[in-house]
A and B are shown apart, each in its own frame.
Chain A
């Protein structure tokens, strides 16, 4: 009871401290509004507005038809050019794709022989290169098929593949981008806030003062965890309701309460992480570096940027220890697939376990560093 009231008042103190730093308020506001908006709307569909160059050596109806087939939003209007410019443009990164339609293409096609079109792909543009190439192949095949049908050549396929996409029928990237950005900000902000709150106490000597009062390290840590976690949790809820749901109009399936519960558990883990960094770093500059070192892998490898399946198995296993991995999964389950407790309980459990372990470990470190 006494401990609870200490934790409560120390936490209120943390909130007051934060409120004294208007620059922080502006940054938090930015992180959960404009930053979410701009980074989610920016992430392109793949392919999206991909630049494509065409060297048309046939100049026939079918080549014209192919040129017209590449349209926004998937492709920018094809640039008609020659071989030299094509090479140069690809070197400079102006064209991601370059299509070369050979002479007599239509002629060969109508004669029923095997024809070939060369597609150059800039493989350094990793995200576009592979899916984009697939798209282009598909477009060419479809166009040729339609063209041949019109010319009386039979071309029905023996089997049709009908592909439907669930949960995000048009594969709108911004849906995913927005949620993912919110998740990134949650992780980033909670680690920075708690880590810095601890370093600040150390740098300003106030931690010494706390230690001569009837307070335990557990109370000091718990106060920071709840107060900073609350700040992030409230920002998250507001951001989801007003920015993601309201302003950007992204349909959020599933129970928001459930998601916020998951967020709270995630915050339990990340704020503990922040405390841990605060005990490792001796000064704010060290903390800043540590945070960058931790945030990049957390953001890049937790399945929010690229699918987890694409990572080496070792990495996949290691990242199971990171709360973000489970939180990203949880977010996708609830907010996109509308999953309920029956489905997401493993993630919630994982977050709770990781959070508890992190908390206890950080507490141990804090006790040692204060002794």
Chain B
């Protein structure tokens, strides 16, 4: 690889199932340049970038980045820290509950920076991006543009030599967008040795890049400098050049969009007066007025977070509003009005269709929910698949499709029932230019031919120009509202973007970040040694970075923490008081066929015992059957006729007992009691007869460890292990899986953090939480339940620590193996409830188990800790007697960790 290339790809092929994403692709990417990757949606741009970044596993072919072979784990580990990757999607790799500073610190630690260095870098980066005033604000509460800036800061914190940005400005407003690119160019001035690869849907952005790669259908169409590309295609705009580059069949049907003039219609479709929405102290939408005529295309422009989406949601009835009024077709907006919903089509900003249904199934579901007739359903489906070019992907899952195609599907679903009003929230974000034109021709046709009213928000200026009228919005207020031409005329510009930015700057209270204009030094090169030296194989700092982050997220979710702590205490109460092996008040009835004082005397023995309570006497066998079956009595006693007489004669009469065996353990207990009471009766008889030899042997019972045979002292030491298994395991189980489902797992793929650091980092906060739980449980048992710890608290504590490590390790294992949160919840419930309650000796000693349960019982950590807990609590045993159980726990920990390591992949498949 020469000095002048940053990445060399040869014969790269990538498949998702049967779909070819990249087809035998070979490419050299020049170093120290700003390289743009352009192409329609779903041609493999993101896949290509993920491969270069090392986030995705290479299936076939070779990729060299900065001289390192990306299929080699060691080389990837050494080179990884020189690459920064910012995935597609607003703030996808950020942690919404963490503040700006905490997000940055997290990444800084992952790259092994110490506190001083981190502070310096964070200061510089936030100063240069204008995030200074917002360092304490949670990332989830930032506007889209600020999220992207923060994402960039996170990517730049370790001075990468290669910066990979996947559609960084998609969904970002024009002002933030221009600030973003200014920032990048300043950074490049500071670090000329840095190479940048950007995928973008904005051709005006791409125009300014040094070198471009045009892609389609997994192959490279052309590459070179923008000027050269224009020359080759004989076009004067990149947008046109790109269309020119597409293969014949894709170009077909692409015509310059023409918008016929609108027939004015005086009927008002959407109207709002003084519409206001507040979230707490924050006014999201502040007295907004507008009036949209039927058939009009009304555009909504504004910075991110200015209240566009909120306004749209209020019109659809999704959000209630505090003040003002809104009406559709003259009817006030009413969330309960089902009929109006049929006349409105809405597309939200974030993809909100079902990722688990195929494209076709999503369309079908909505057609059915809108009650389309079967014929119309079939025609509409066919039409939509064609119009939105979804035919090829009809049987694929949206989750695996690129953003642009997902947006098309959302739009298709929004227009499916041919609504009269369309409310579209940034429908074209992330959609390629050709497809966008397709969208618009459809919108125009609906507006002009079918008089559909279209209320649309967008960040694309060329789309805004196509609207009949537009509103400029900022900080919850409408700045101005008119035709695009009139607005430009008011400011004396012939460019809408400049007009818009001028409006925004004027309205914006916060002054421009000082550095944004003067372009002063923003990024100081890192001390070279730090970035050049290879990252260590194991780093406490990286580990603690994940541990800190996880614990911060736990702290920011007070409900979860409270549930975990209060929950254990509540459960302890419930089980401690609820389970009692000392069964009392068992109901029985007597069929006394003798009816003498002797027989009644016998019955008294039973009814006088605290274990039994007598019900109305039985009259017949049928009644006995019936009442046993109904479960009204669990014991029936039959005293035979002539019982008294036979007894006197010494004929040894037989009293019959029928026990309800439906619940065997209860039946056993009843049998035991009956035998005891019967024996007592015999002794009584013997005493009356003046002899004491009725029972030649007296079995002297000594209940050890719990002489009064109370349930609580027996239950408490057993419930602690049960609860310390379930709660920590459940907490941990969602740790990894949640990142997988929500997307932030990408940080694990592309930063130097190792699998071990990641896993242990995730585990530690929950171990700490588990130990707090343990402490609470012990305090509860000592002070509330009055069950003292007879042995050493320290020994018990050490055991608890090992045990909690096992429990959280088990949770992590489940989390590493499964891919959905719901499966993790269910899996944890299965893996903890049954073995911990039934196989671990809580009720039945492990030695009494049979079959598979024995194996589980002997291996499952709860059994060992149960022995330790009972030993220390009730028998005051110490380490000397209990060491084998400690050893078993200690062995379990690394076994679980190794299994999790094996189940967790450092790259996306």
Contacts and interface: CB of A to CB of B under 8 A. Distances in A.
Interface in A287-317: 287-293, 295-297, 299-301, 303, 305-307, 309-312, 315
A119 B579 contact: no
B352 A141 contact: no
B875 to A, nearest CB: 5
Instruction: With a 10 A CB-CB cut-off, give which of A137, A215, A295 has the most chain B CB atoms.
Output: A137
B174 interface: no
A41 B348 contact: no
Interface residues of A, number: 149
Given A39-B834, A371-B320, A343 B704 contact: no
Interface in B347-368: 348, 350-357, 361, 365-366, 368
Contacts of A6: 368-369
A30 B827 CA distance: 10
Contacts of B731: 285, 288-289
Contact of A51 (B344, B357, B847): B847
Given A91-B877, A161-B675, A293-B570, A16 B652 contact: no
Interface string A76-117: 100000000000101111001000000000000100101111
A254 to B, nearest CB: 10
A172 B429 CA distance: 66
Contact of B847 (A49, A109, A141): A49
Interface string B731-752: 1011000100110000000000
Instruction: With a 10 A CB-CB cut-off, give which of A47, A90, A291, A296 has the most chain B CB atoms.
Output: A296
Contacts of B857: 42
A92 B652 contact: no
A92 B827 contact: no
Chain A contact surface mostly: helix
Interface string A210-230: 011111100000000000000
A2 to B, nearest CB: 6
B645 to A, nearest CB: 13
Given A171-B668, A292-B726, A160 B654 contact: yes
Contact of B828 (A112, A288, A312): A288
Contacts of B701: 119, 121, 133, 137
B837 interface: yes
B77 to A, nearest CB: 30
Interface residues of B, number: 158
B654 A96 contact: no
A17 interface: yes
Interface in A26-51: 27-28, 30-31, 34-35, 37-39, 41-51
B653 interface: yes
Contacts of B722: 296
Nearest to A8: B368
Nearest to B361: A16
Chain B contact surface mostly: helix
B679 A160 contact: no
B674 A48 contact: no
Instruction: With a 10 A CB-CB cut-off, give which of B341, B663, B717, B877 has the most chain A CB atoms.
Output: B663
Contacts of A145: 696
A135 B706 CA distance: 20
B281 interface: no
Interface string B694-719: 11111111111111010100110110
A369 interface: no
A59 interface: no
B800 to A, nearest CB: 18
B697 A212 contact: no
A120 interface: yes
Given A127-B844, A159-B647, A286-B563, A115 B697 contact: yes
B697 A116 contact: yes
Contact of A126 (B341, B671, B675, B711): B711
A159 B353 CA distance: 77
B659 A166 contact: yes
B665 A285 contact: no
Contact of B704 (A109, A120, A281, A291): A120
A134 B664 contact: no
Contact of A168 (B664, B714, B717): B664
B493 to A, nearest CB: 37
Interface stretch (B104-112, B236-244, B495-503, B583-591): B583-591
A127 to B, nearest CB: 4
Contact of A38 (B656, B717, B718, B856): B856
A323 B373 CA distance: 41
A136 interface: yes
Contacts of B211: none
Given A124-B870, A166-B661, A329-B631, A134 B676 contact: yes
Instruction: With a 10 A CB-CB cut-off, give which of B316, B696, B852, B856 has the most chain A CB atoms.
Output: B696
Contacts of B355: 204
Contacts of B580: 306, 310-312
B685 A96 contact: no
B339 interface: yes
Interface in B835-860: 837-839, 841, 843-845, 847-854, 856-857
B902 interface: no
Nearest to B737: A284
Interface stretch (B57-65, B298-306, B443-451, B815-823): B815-823
Given A213-B366, A307-B583, A135 B560 contact: no
Contacts of B673: 134
B652 A204 contact: no
B662 A176 contact: yes
Contacts of A245: none
Contacts of A339: 629-630
Interface stretch (A188-196, A263-271, A354-362): A188-196
Contacts of A131: 665, 668-669, 672
Contacts of B794: none
Contacts of A300: 574-575, 578-579, 837
Interface string A346-364: 0000000000000000000
B797 interface: no
A245 B741 CA distance: 39
Contacts of B847: 49-51, 76, 96
Interface string B332-354: 00010011011010101011111
Among all A-B residue pairs, the 6 with the closest Cβ atoms: A42-B853, A134-B672, A168-B661, A123-B706, A196-B822, A336-B662
Given A163-B657, A176-B662, 13 more contacts: A21-B820, A28-B826, A46-B664, A123-B704, A128-B844, A163-B656, A166-B661, A167-B662, A214-B371, A287-B825, A296-B571, A297-B574, A337-B629
22 contacts: A6-B368, A42-B839, A46-B665, A114-B693, A120-B702, A156-B650, A159-B654, A160-B652, A164-B658, A165-B660, A167-B662, A193-B822, A193-B826, A199-B821, A204-B352, A212-B317, A213-B366, A301-B574, A305-B579, A310-B584, A333-B631, A337-B662
